[in-house]
Copies of this chain bind each other. A is one copy, B any other.
């Protein structure tokens, strides 16, 4: 181990703290040219072992860190991707970022994020403030029409849409297969012997709600639809379930458009003495953590959020690289299928009896 503070030879560099060390400082200390320093640092070109060693020593001693802005200026690379998010639900948000960050890091990219944008104006401002410092943007805000984006970014930087409803925007997108997921949920209920399946849907006008409801209707087969509207909140699920129980011909199964409403419904049934899954089966959507914690544990359609985030980042990186090579962009829409997670809330009649806690 060498001396800590500066105590070099002839010339005194006793005050390196005044200013961040620069490549030139390293070059001087190592007695080489700055070009050599650059080569060593970037592993490009060829350098003698001796030179490399001297440079590395100097770097350590000076605690040199390359100036990002300068590098970016001369390479015209940013190695950063931006993510613009709406006001997202806890678990979703963190899982998404986890997946994105993992992928980004794996590709030597940084992630700069801007969250909680609940109106179009706000969102657009975030986008603007990002441009110039990111190679591309991933977009999850449902508040800005794809059209706005198109004009804002036309030919400027790659944009990947991941908002629900971006399916046919004619731009690169990754979306969750809400329709397919709903179909599978209903089919599962049918397969486990349920004969009167209701749907607690999300608010009309919400793309996700609409698509899931459409899937429900499509999968019903000959059964008569029973629809109640909620708003994705637990309370609305509770209310909806109460309505369902009051029907002259109550259902023996419920497909809720998301887990929170399903949980609300479970509580309502419990309070009313309606047993789940014996008297009524319940399926949710999303597989939020609480789905596994409620009793009975909730069967649901799991959306692998982290995976979606990872895919998004990798896709965007490809787009960025393609853009640099002036290759034609891929503007198709990638679809992610939710998978069924079976738990107690839809156990079939025979096994249902076993349900205890």
> Which residues of A pack against B, CB within 8 Å?
17, 20, 63, 65-73, 78, 80, 87-91, 93-95, 97-98, 101-102, 105, 110-116, 126, 128-133, 154-156, 234, 263, 267, 270-271, 289-290, 293-295, 356-357
Least CB separation from A263: chain B residue: B293
CA–CA, A155 and B63, complex, Å: 10
Cβ-defined partner of A357 (8 Å) among B89, B110, B270, B289: B270
Kindly list chain B residues whose C-beta atoms are within 8 Å of the C-beta of A263: 293
Cβ-defined partner of A65 (8 Å) among B70, B112, B132: B132
CA–CA, A154 and B63, complex, Å: 10
CA–CA, A293 and B293, complex, Å: 11
CA–CA, A105 and B95, complex, Å: 22
Cβ-defined partner of A114 (8 Å) among B101, B155, B289, B357: B101
Q: 9 closest Cβ contacts across the A-B interface?
A: A69-B72, A68-B133, A93-B94, A90-B91, A271-B357, A65-B132, A69-B73, A69-B69, A68-B132
Contact A110 B97 (CB under 8 A): no
27 example contacts (A-B, Cβ-Cβ < 8 A) are as follows A17-B155, A65-B128, A68-B69, A70-B73, A80-B112, A89-B94, A90-B90, A90-B94, A90-B289, A91-B91, A91-B94, A93-B93, A93-B94, A93-B97, A93-B98, A94-B94, A98-B116, A101-B116, A105-B114, A110-B130, A111-B112, A111-B114, A112-B112, A234-B293, A267-B357, A289-B290, A290-B290
Kindly list chain B residues whose C-beta atoms are within 8 Å of the C-beta of A129: 110
Cβ-defined partner of A73 (8 Å) among B67, B128, B270, B294: B67
